Amino acid sequence: MTKASSGKLIFSNPANPDSAFTPEMKSLSEVTAFTAHTTAPKLKSGATAPKVAVYTAPPNVVVSPGNPLIISGSGPVSVQFGTVTIEPGGQIFVYTTADISIETLVKQ
């Protein structure tokens, strides 16, 4: 995962151009959280299984009223955070199938 110098806390599949982060795209079978709970989809001939947007480097993020943490998209997302600090009024929105890991959660 790469981090841009500026951008929003958007972790999405497909990647959002306004995000400060870029995922590595992996197949469902490569992401343990999805292989343990998801059976292989039955696909029509020529169709491909969805990819998982994997954000692996544990970023430390600050969630504020003006910069919510958003996990979204049309496909599954896997993200591992270091420290997530939630300031008063900060919100986290999850709009897609996701595997979320947070080492330390701080509520201010």
Give the tens place of pLDDT for each residue, 27-45.
Answer: 988 888 877 655 555 666 6
In a domain, 96, yes or no: yes
In a domain, 60, yes or no: yes
Rounded alpha-carbon distances, angstroms, from residue 66 to 22, 43, 50, 80: 21, 41, 32, 22
Q: Is residue 44 part of a domain?
A: no
Report pLDDT digits (tens) over 42-93. Answer: 666 666 778 999 998 768 999 999 999 999 999 999 999 999 999 999 999 9
Confirm whether 42 is domain-assigned: no
Number of domains the chain contains: 1
Residue 58's domain comprises 2-37+50-107
